[in-house]
Amino acid sequence: DTGVSQNPRHKITKRGQNVTFRCDPISEHNRLYWYRQTLGQGPEFLTYFQNEAQLEKSRLLSDRFSAERPKGSFSTLEIQRTEQGDSAMYLCASRPGQGRRNTGELFFGEGSRLTVL
């Protein structure tokens, strides 16, 4: 399967702990996105990478959140000192850059569900 891969799929943690999620995009996609989705809501944009450069961050991304994409391949999203309000599904998506294969759509992974107790 060559789709977007995320792990872990589920994470239960206690308040105050740090968690890290990993996303492996489709190999030829140089653009990578992180979104957060809470129950009954649409996905909310968190941050965006083009290759290894983090080009945009949402105001939703507090200081406790950090994302990296070393070498422009996989990406990690770390949440420090988790709070109950961080409980959500964290979605990763990717798409190719400019070119014939770029239809603008995002290809989403299955998400990483975080529960903070």
Partner 1 sequence: AQKVTQAQTEISVVEKEDVTLDCVYETRDTTYYLFWYKQPPSGELVFLIRRNSFDEQNEISGRYSWNFQKSTSSFNFTITASQVVDSAVYFCALRETSGSRLTFGEGTQLTVNP
Give contact residues for partner 1 (rule: CB under 8 A): 31, 33, 40-45, 48, 50, 55-56, 58, 89, 91, 93, 103-111
From the CB of 63, what's the least distance to partner 1, in Å?
20
Of 16 and 97, the one with the shorter C-beta distance to partner 1 is 97
Question: Are the C-beta atoms of residues 32 and 49 closer than 8 Å to each other?
Answer: yes
Whichever of 63 and 105 has its CB closer to partner 1, that residue is: 105
Shortest distance in whole angstroms from residue 54 CB to partner 1: 12
CB 3 within 8 A of CB 91: no
Q: Least distance in Å: CB of 17 to partner 1?
A: 24
| Burial class of residue 113 in the structure, from the number of CB atoms within 10 Å of its CB (0-12 exposed, 13-18 middle, 19+ buried) | middle
Angle made by CA atoms 83, 86, 92, in degrees to the nearest 5: 145
Q: Tell me the closest approach of the beta carbon of residue 5 to partner 1, in angstroms.
A: 11
Strands 75-79 and 88-95: unpaired
Residue closer to partner 1 by CB (options 14, 105) is 105
